[in-house]
Amino acid sequence: MHVSIFGSTVEIDESHIEEPPAVVREQVREYVRGTRRTFDLTVTRPEGVTGDVMATMTDIPYGETRTYGELAATLDTAPVAVGQACGRNPVPIVVPCHRVVGSDGGLRGYSGGDGVATKRRLLEFEQGTTQTRLSTES
């Protein structure tokens, strides 16, 4: 399935999600509106490193990032293996591979939409809505 988000089209492999496409699309719309920070979907992860990396990415909070090296250390693997697994993520946005960055904060790559440009828009959106929420709560 293809979903439009921030001027890009991202492919989500619906065969890895138990819920029907209409539910996935609605949750993506809620994310774009800023009313959803996590996805409430049942995702089937591939076995091996890709599935392990996906599980770890799911734990990265909205508006935050982790480095390839941090995930690699958690999983006892190499940063390049984490990057490759991110590139194989069949459900970008739902499993937030856009929240994984280089050790210097560089965006490196993104398999969804328009690549790094889409990743940048997703991160800026999340960081912007997080900052707005914090300033209104103070």
- The span from the CA of 99 to the CA of 68, in Å, is 10
Catalytic-role residue among 95, 97, 100, 122: 97
How far apart, in whole angstroms, are the C-alpha atoms of residue 138 and residue 136? 6
9 three-class SS: strand
Is-contact 130 62, C-beta < 8 A? yes
97: annotated active-site residue:
yes
Say which residue the tokens 């991160």 belong to: 123
Q: Report the catalytic residues.
A: 97
